Amino acid sequence: MTARGIALAATAGILLGTGFRYGYPDLALLGAAAGIAVVAALVFAFWRPRLGVARVAEPDRVARGEPADVTLTISNTSKVRAASLIATDRCGAATVDVPLLRLRAGHDTVESYPVPTHRRGLVPIGPLHVTRRDPLGLITLNRAYGGTTIVRVYPRVHPMRAVPAGLTRSLDGRVDKVPQGSITFDTLREYVPGDELRRVHWRSSAKVGELMVREQLDTSEPQIVVLLDDRATAHRGDSFEDACEAAASIVVAAVREDLPVTLHLVAATLSGPHLDVLTEATLGDGDLDATLRHLRAQKLGDTLIFLTGPGGRDDLGALSGLRSAYPIALAGILGDRDSSPAAPTDRLLVIEAADGAEFAAAWDGVRGW
């Protein structure tokens, strides 16, 4: 109820009470008229329009800065009257006005508007809020229609041509880099249509009585582990956004080359597709030493990529201590290229870049993985 409605209802009570108590029919009549106006406003505002709301985001996954649109279809499913309403649709942190003028029964209207994709993250769309006001402005009622759609704004991906070289381990303990990889027997399985006949193991097939096929794996293929530093103390300005872009670029390049890659965060524990994790990642408090101890114990791969901000420069020494578990280690410092550069060593490669695009260019320039 608006301030006008509250005042009119109070006035109606006072007039009715005064009129009946002291015998003033005119005051009682005015009070009754004011009371009828309040009741009529309540009936008008509480009439619930029957609306069907369908919302489609196209696309619902988009890289930062790329266009995305929402198409909103609103149907008047009532059978009696047309509806003229004031509607707004939630779009992230903003609201979008949706005009609903004389929407006749059984008809619908379609509205489209762009989704803000200038920042990485989740953009909730909806629900549709419909506001009903009576003609005298005594009552205002807000109702929600439809569900919520989520648009995922991924970090921007920069093209990378280079990928780390593979490693082969001999029986005497040596580790050599093998750019082209090697093939090693893994197991046998039953033949399925489409398998190459040259991979059939005829001796085993004769023993079993059906065709058996050799499964092989590449023991020298690089196992990439990306560690994204999401500690608030490690970043300044937009350096975390730049680090997310660098991580997304590495993940996409690895998937393009069909290389196994895992993504880990220091402060948070998120699961799901890597780009979804990078979309939801936020700054927090974490223990880098504990994370490094976990990576050393697990030995999740042979190539470790550590992405941090200006505040993580002092932690590179701890990262170089993982070289025994990860023969190839690279650190990327995003957002602080102008300060004194950290020199690469035989234990750790270092890339310093102002943003994700510069990191991708420097990545392609790395020699001697």
- pLDDT of residue 172 exceeding 50, the answer is no
| Residue range 289-324, pLDDT digits in tens | 999 999 988 888 888 999 999 999 888 888 888 877
* Per-residue pLDDT at 180: 42
Task: Return all residues near 344 (Cβ < 8 A) that are at least 6 apart.
Answer: 350
* Per-residue pLDDT at 353: 93
Determine the 3-state secondary structure of 201 from DSSP: coil
Amino acid identity for residue 15 in this structure? L
Confidence of residue 168 (pLDDT cuts 50, 70, 90): very low
* Per-residue pLDDT at 347: 66
- pLDDT of residue 275 exceeding 50, the answer is yes
Average pLDDT over residues 171-182: 44
Q: Which of 74-88, 180-194, 312-326, 354-368 shows the lowest per-residue confidence on average (mean pLDDT)?
A: 180-194
The answer to whether 262 touches 303, Cβ cutoff 8 Å, is no
- pLDDT of residue 219 exceeding 60, the answer is no
% pLDDT > 70, the chain = 87
How far apart CA 179 and CA 167 sit, in angstroms, is 8
| Residue range 320-350, pLDDT digits in tens | 888 778 888 899 999 876 555 555 555 688 8
| Residue range 48-74, pLDDT digits in tens | 778 889 999 999 999 999 999 999 998
Q: Which of 3-7, 152-156, 341-345 shows the lowest per-residue confidence on average (mean pLDDT)?
A: 341-345
How far apart CA 94 and CA 83 sit, in angstroms, is 25
Whole-angstrom CA distances from 120 to 117, 277, 282 are 7, 11, 10
Question: For residue 94, what are its two tokens?
Answer: 């903003």
* Per-residue pLDDT at 123: 95
* Per-residue pLDDT at 178: 45
Determine the 3-state secondary structure of 206 from DSSP: helix
- pLDDT of residue 159 exceeding 70, the answer is yes
Amino acid identity for residue 328 in this structure? I
| Residue range 12-30, pLDDT digits in tens | 999 999 988 888 888 889 9
Higher pLDDT, 169 or 294: 294
